[in-house]
Each structure stands twice: as structure tokens, then as C-alpha cells.
């Protein structure tokens, strides 16, 4: 049986699949050529990340396709229910990248409160001639310890974010339409741990009381955070979106940054990927990464292995 990992897959995943007798290709096929490639090469399993889309036309045209796999959590680039209605297995790896995304959230938070995103832009330009000016510009940082982190979406990733926040001494409040309360297990290097029970609250309450806000929700039909929600927040709040582009109204975000309602934003996802708005990219109060939440070696190894295990279980049973 043949597997096409169109957006790549880790070597650990390739090894597991090949050991089970699968033929694995990591050729990157252009979207418009994908249907022909799958049919001509009799591909049984298509694995994607976020670059490749799997819509009804491909599902209808590729009769031989048995499994569609998404390396990651969100599956908004796949017509999941339609594929399943046509007898295709659709799989993903909801837990494999949670820790990596959570750590990226804190990379943005730590950088934001100490202006690293802006300092790293300006030090190469003016560090040798305006050192004292820059020192003064970036001299009013704040600590995360003791502050309140509001988590919108308290699934796997939201809880991983909570673990880090609790570990550095933050208060955690959370909102989730489907989770009433959750136990968060904070583990330490020597085997010790503590369990912290967190009850979720209405989102408006979280927005009003949080010093920093991070979003961990799937793509929505409407904005989760728009002008109305920004108006509820504390002045000088920090906000991070490492979830999906389009959950924050970026026009409202830029306005909130310019009027001081939002002190800084950390964005890993954007409304118009892969062509983010210039007004966002050029804003000095925005810390930017190009949708790399799950892009760590450890997460990709877990994703590859987890996908391989699921594929083997479905097709070799």
C-alpha cells in the first residue's frame, strides 16, 4: 500500500510505516496536480498538514484513497464529514503537538512583556549608535509571575498552556463552551507533581479580568475576538493567537494596539495566510511567527509515529 505525505512526515513515521510494509512518498505535489498524482500512483493514504487542502473534488475523484490524515489538531483544510460519508477514514493527531504550541505561546508572552520582538528589530539597526535610547525605550517591562492568564478554549492545548502558567506562578482563568472544569497536572523534573482544578467561566468574565489572553479554539464562522470583546479587556492587555487565523478580527486588533487597549499581540496564525496583512506585519507591537506552533522536532516525531500507528491499525487489522 502507498502513502503520500504531501506536506512531509517525520522519519520516525516513515520508519514505522515502512516496517509495516507501506511504501511512503514525501514528494510535495502541487494542489492542482494532486488528484492526477494520487490516481496515477494508486495512493491509498494521503497525509497533509496545513498547506494541502482536501476538498470534495479530490475526495470524489480519488476513489482508491482509503485514509486522509492530518498531522496536527485542526482539520479545517479537510472536508471531514464529506470524506467520512464517502467511506474514507479521516484521522489526526490531537495530542501530539500540544506541548510545542503551548511553549510557543510563552515564547510570545515572554518576548512581549520584555519587548524582545521590537528590540530584535531595532538593535541591529541602531544598537551601536542609540544604545542608551533603546535601553530607555525597553526599560518598562513587566513580569508574568503573579499576573492572570485568560485561556479561551480549554482543550488539550489550553491545558498545556495552563501547566506552564501555573508553573511560573500565574493565576489561570479559562473559558470553554464544552468544558465545565478540568484537572491540570503540573509535573516537575523529579517526578513530583501537583493537580490544580480549574473551573471555566463565561468568556466575558475572562476577558474582563485577564492581564494576558491566549486563544485555543478551532476556526469559527465568526470572530471570537472583535471590537466588542476588545472593549471588555483591561487596558494594556497582551493577547496571543496560536490557534487559527480568523478567530481574531485583525482590523479591530490593530485599532486596539494603536489606542493602547492592547499592549502587544503575539500572532502565529493570520486571517489571510499565507499572505498576512501588511498592517499586521509592520506593527511594532506585534510579535510574529509564520504558523510554527507544532514545528518542533519532538512534536513532528510524535505526529509521525501517531499517524503511522493509526494507519497500521486501520489497514493492517
Domain extent listing, the chain = 2-94+297-315, 98-288
The region, left, alpha or beta by phi > 0 then psi within -120 to 50, assigned to residue 72 is left
Please confirm, yes or no, whether 285 is among the known catalytic residues: no
> Is 247:219 a contact under the CB 8 Å cutoff?
yes
Q: What integer pLDDT is reported at residue 317 of this predicted model?
A: 66
pLDDT in tens, the chain (317 residues): 999 999 999 999 999 999 999 999 999 999 999 999 999 999 999 999 988 999 999 999 999 999 999 998 888 899 999 999 999 999 999 889 999 999 999 999 999 999 999 999 999 999 999 999 999 999 999 999 999 999 999 999 999 999 999 999 999 999 999 999 999 999 999 999 999 999 999 999 999 999 999 999 988 899 999 999 999 999 999 999 999 999 999 999 999 999 999 999 999 999 999 999 999 999 999 999 999 999 999 999 999 999 999 999 999 86
> Is 9:25 a contact under the CB 8 Å cutoff?
no
Q: What integer pLDDT is reported at residue 188 of this predicted model?
A: 95
| Pairs from 272-275 (Cβ < 8 Å, separation ≥ 24) | 272/245, 273/245
> CA torsion sign, 110 to 114 to 117 to 119?
negative
Same topology, domains 2-94+297-315 and 98-288? Answer is: yes
CATH number of 98-288: 3.40.50.720
Nearest-angstrom CA–CA distance, 259 and 248: 17
In the structure grid, which three cell numbers stand for residue 259, read together?
489606542
Nearest-angstrom CA–CA distance, 80 and 55: 9
User: Annotated catalytic residue: which of 159, 216, 244, 302?
Assistant: 244
Please confirm, yes or no, whether 160 is among the known catalytic residues: no
CA distances from 76 to 73, 125, 154, 157, 244 (A): 9, 40, 19, 17, 9
Please confirm, yes or no, whether 291 is among the known catalytic residues: yes
What residues contact 273, with CB distance under 8 A and at least 6 apart? Answer: 245, 291
CATH T-level assignment (fold) for domain 2-94+297-315 = Rossmann fold (3.40.50)
- Residue given cell 515502512 in the structure block: 18
Amino acid at each position: 500500500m502507498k502513502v503520500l505525505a504531501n506536506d512531509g512526515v517525520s522519519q520516525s513515521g516513515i520508519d514505522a510505516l515502512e516496517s509495516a510494509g507501506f511504501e511512503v512518498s514525501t514528494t510535495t505535489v502541487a494542489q492542482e496536480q494532486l488528484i492526477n498524482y494520487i490516481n496515477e500512483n494508486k495512493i491509498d493514504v494521503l497525509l497533509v498538514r496545513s498547506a494541502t487542502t482536501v476538498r470534495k473534488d479530490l475526495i470524489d475523484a480519488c476513489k482508491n484513497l482509503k485514509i486522509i490524515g492530518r498531522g496536527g489538531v485542526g482539520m479545517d483544510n479537510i472536508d471531514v464529514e464529506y470524506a467520512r460519508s464517502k467511506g474514507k477514514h479521516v484521522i489526526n493527531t490531537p495530542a501530539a503537538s500540544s506541548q510545542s504550541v503551548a511553549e510557543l505561546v510563552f515564547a510570545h508572552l515572554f518576548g512581549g512583556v520584555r519587548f524582545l520582538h521590537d528590540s530584535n528589530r531595532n538593535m541591529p539597526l541602531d544598537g551601536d549608535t542609540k544604545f542608551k535610547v533603546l535601553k530607555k525605550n525597553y526599560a518598562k517591562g513587566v513580569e508574568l509571575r503573579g499576573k492572570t492568564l485568560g485561556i479561551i478554549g480549554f482543550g488539550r492545548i489550553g491545558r498545556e498552556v495552563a501547566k506552564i502558567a501555573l508553573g511560573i506562578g500565574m493565576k489561570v482563568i479559562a473559558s470553554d463552551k464544552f468544558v465545565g472544569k478540568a484537572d491540570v497536572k503540573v509535573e516537575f523534573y523529579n517526578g513530583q507533581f501537583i493537580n490544580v482544578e480549574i473551573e471555566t467561566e463565561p468568556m466575558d468574565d475572562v476577558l474582563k479580568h485577564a492581564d494576558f489572553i491566549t486563544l485555543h479554539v478551532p476556526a469559527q464562522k465568526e470572530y471570537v475576538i472583535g471590537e466588542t470583546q476588545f472593549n471588555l479587556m483591561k487596558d494594556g492587555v497582551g493577547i496571543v493567537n496560536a490557534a487559527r487565523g480568523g478567530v481574531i478580527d485583525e482590523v479591530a486588533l490593530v485599532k486596539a494596539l494603536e489606542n493602547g487597549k492592547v499592549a502587544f499581540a503575539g500572532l502565529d496564525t493570520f486571517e489571510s495566510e499565507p499572505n498576512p496583512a501588511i498592517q499586521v506585519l509592520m506593527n511594532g507591537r506585534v510579535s510574529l511567527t509564520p504558523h510554527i506552533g507544532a514545528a518542533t522536532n519532538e512534536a513532528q516525531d510524535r505526529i509521525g509515529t501517531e499517524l503511522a500507528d493509526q494507519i497500521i491499525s486501520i489497514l493492517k487489522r
